[in-house]
Amino acid sequence: MSQAPSKVGILIFPGFEPLDVFGPVEAFHTISKKLAKINLVWIGPTLDPVGSAPKDIHTTTMGSTVDTRVVPTHTYDNPPEDLEVLLIPGGLGPRVPSSDGAVAFVKKTYPKLKYLITVCNGSEIAARAGVLDGKKATTNKFGWKESVATGPKVEWVRTARYVADGNVWTTGGVSAGIDGILAWMAHVYGREVARQVANEMEYEWRDDETWDPFAYIFGEYA
């Protein structure tokens, strides 16, 4: 257990998808209490609060106003030196130019990491940084075509709840991040620990990377 990573960073940028972040964060919260040492940090463009859905990129036809503002603990320019795990969420953010800073951060940081984890189209940030090239990976099924277009040298796996290739874990869309992080926790901290985390979260863990009804549901549209 002394080798198990504890320093975990959540990459945030304007337009992050809430559950991409907070599914895995809930699992880190739960495991951190009595099962593993976790030091969680939040890495944003600056130390100012970062919104999940800034008005300039949140497309709604309904007159909705929906935003979540989260406060970073670190910046892309000054991350913790001992970062071991980086989690990249998706959302609308990866598809606008303001995400260039996040891409540059991932490119610079990946060689120092023990693990990189992407949720949903957080894969686009990783693909644009080149760190998925030549690797097997998956992404969300709802916006599959747009996501895989960002990584022409990636070996994309269409029907997969999550994919592990070396130290890179990628998951399907949004909720798939929860199954992915639990599988990663099983790999790193042991299956019994991951099961306990899932149960405390009262989460029906799909402990099977090939389980993916959404590949079929969105088969014609993605």
Q: Name the residue nearer to a copy of itself (CB basis): 45 or 172.
A: 172
Q: Please state the closest distance from residue 167 (CB atom) to a copy of itself, in A.
A: 22
Residue 123 or 129: which CB sits closer to a copy of itself? 123
3-state SS, residue 155: strand
Nearest distance in Å: CB 16, a copy of itself: 11
**3-state SS, residue 221:** coil
Question: Residue 197 corresponds to which amino acid?
Answer: V
Catalog residues that contact a copy of itself under the rule CB under 8 A.
6, 17-19, 21-23, 25-26, 28-29, 32-40, 42, 49, 52-53, 58-71, 120, 140-142, 172-176, 178, 199-204, 206, 213-214, 217-218
Q: CA-CA distance, 186 to 209, in Å (whole number)?
A: 13
At closest approach, how far in Å is the CB of 83 from a copy of itself? 14
Report, in Å, the least distance between residue 26 CB and a copy of itself. Answer: 4
Q: Is the CB of 199 or the CB of 210 nearer to a copy of itself?
A: 199
Contact between 46 and 76 under an 8 Å Cβ cutoff? The reply is no
Which residue, 102 or 181, is less far from a copy of itself as judged by CB? 181
For residue 19, CA distances in Å to 11, 84, 166, 175 come to 13, 22, 25, 7
Q: Which amino acid type is present at position 55?
A: K
Per-residue tokens: 89: 């969420």
